Structure 1
Amino acid sequence: MARITLEDLGGLGEEEDEEAAAAEEEGDEEGEGARAQLFAHWEAVASAHRVSLPRGERRAGAAEGAAGPSPASPPPAPCLADMAGPIAQMTRRGRLREPVPYAALARQDEGEEAAYEERQYPAGKWACVTKGEPMYEQSISMSFMKLMRYICKENSIGCYLGMTVPVLNEIHLTKEGTKLAHEVLTAFYLPAVFQQDPPIPTDPEIHITERAPLRVITRVFYGMTTEETILREISLFWELLGSTDTVLWETYIVATYENPSIPQRRNEIWFIRRVE
């Protein structure tokens, strides 16, 4: 499925969102049609991000056969029936997004805009999933689908938890520094109301983690987040900062804020300050 970020769900086309939300509540034939239209939209986004979204229930071995999945096949995803509820839920309620708290420490301007900004993020509880699919887009798609279901209902209180932004994707460079390692950690900051007592995920792959305070240097970029664009942005940021040993060189964070259907959506690359 699409590289569905927390933002992706909240930022679908306004008309599609409202129709699908009303459809779920009314439950009539027109509603079914509106839902089908919304899911078709998600399938199209998914396809663009190299992840398949089956429409029916997955049967063990049905897609793979005895020999397992083809190396060229997109990774299996939860079927459309499984994702219908979470998609409609976040569509209906995804307008309000709580920002992850931080303190701005310094800013370097470039004309009228910030070239980069240094921030301090406090310790806090995050819901995290780690995936190691062949492509970056696939890993974060699969992780967010899991987080989406946790946020919507698949948790110990059985309720919608609310959305926060940005969603963080922690990445690592290979030893050569020319590629991204397959393993990506995707993290969702728990809303303030749940920071002291986080609902327990029903999915064993989701872990609630107390992450330490984080000091980062951030730079905004726009457009799609693929391995190619991320590597380019890391290189450009290094050119801007110059030689320094105060930040990590092997680990970075990609922060996503907006719907992937927005061609020039906002993202940030974060360089992580070394702990002194």
Structure 2
Amino acid sequence: MFGMIKNSLFGTTEEAEYKMLSSETKEGVSFEVRRYDPGKYASVYSEGRNFDQVTGELVRKLLMYIGGSNEQGEAMGTAVPLIITVYPRNDGVLSRRLVVGIRVPSLFQQEPPTPTDSAIKIEDRPGMTVYALQFGGFAGESEYRAEALRLTRTLGETAPFQRKQYFCCSYDPLKPYGRRNEVWFLQEEP
């Protein structure tokens, strides 16, 4: 899938490009291995509040930014997924530190508009290979944790992925139903 653009209830949406490396099913659980190219992301950091307390606020900041709340007044359309980087403790509970990021749409990758909100930072993120597990419904911390545990069990203890962080992805943060969510584990590079 490369640069899928679709029209939705909320206008034009650009999905981050990726190359499908494989699609697998183990013990009845289907997941994909994908390669994402490097790119510029708008990101907001939070420390001290839990996932469910802060994600809505941070997502709104990013949607406002790409919707035109930037120094250039550029409405960039909508980009998906929203990627929430979480840091689980050894017991699986998420720490009170997270990063919410959204890929800057393709037309603005070279020169992203300057955020007016000082909490938003523009970052260059490297390319990455991820194990992606898709699920539906409204997803909060407990749903993402359950799916991360399911993906961990499916991949097994020896799979080459990072254990200190993972990504909680939302493709439809504004839809009241029919949502698409994913958990991504970052594959360790050989």
**TM-score, length of structure 2 as denominator length:** 0.88
Partner of 1:202: 116
Alignment pair present for 1:211 and 2:125 = yes
Identity %: 27
Larger radius of gyration between Structure 1 and Structure 2? 1
Listed as ranges, the matches of 1:91-240 within 5 Å are 94-109=10-25, 115-132=30-47, 134-174=49-89, 176-240=90-154
Helix, strand or coil at the partner of 1:217: strand
Write out per-residue CA displacement over residues 133-161 of structure 1, whole angstroms, 9 at most, x where no aligned residue. 53312221111121122122221211211
Instruction: Tell me the secondary structure at the aligned position of residue 14 of structure 2.
Output: strand
Contact 1:170 1:252 in 2 (8 A): yes
The residue identity in structure 2 corresponding to 1:273 is Q
Distance in structure 2 (CA, Å) of the matches to 1:253 and 1:247: 12
The SS at the match of 2:24 is strand
Structure 2 unmatched ranges of 5 or more: 1-7
Equivalence for 1:274: 188
Runs of 4+ in structure 1 displaced over 2 angstroms? 132-135
For structure 1, which runs of at least 5 residues remain unmatched after alignment?
A: 1-9, 12-93
- TM-score of the aligned structures, taking structure 1 as reference length: 0.62
> Residues of 1 paired with 2:152 and 2:94: CA distance?
16
Q: Which has the higher helix share?
A: 1
The answer to whether the 8 A contact 1:133-1:139 is kept is no
Give the whole-Å Cα distance in 2 for the aligned partners of 1:245 and 1:109. Answer: 15
Describe the SS at the equivalent of 1:274: coil
Separation in structure 1 between the aligned mates of residue 92 and residue 111 of structure 2, nearest angstrom:
41
Work out the CA distance in 2 between the residues paired with 1:106 and 1:215.
11
CA distance in 1, matches of 2:88, 2:141: 11
Q: Calculate the aligned-residue CA RMSD, in Å.
A: 2.0
Question: How many residues get paired?
Answer: 182
Return the offset for 1:253.
0.3
Query: Are the aligned partners of 2:50 and 2:95 in contact in 1 as well (CA < 8 Å)?
Result: no
Say which is worse superposed, 97-106 or 153-162, in terms of deviation: 153-162
Q: Deviations over 1:5-63 (max 9, x none)?
A: xxxxx75xxxxxxxxxxxxxxxxxxxxxxxxxxxxxxxxxxxxxxxxxxxxxxxxxxxx
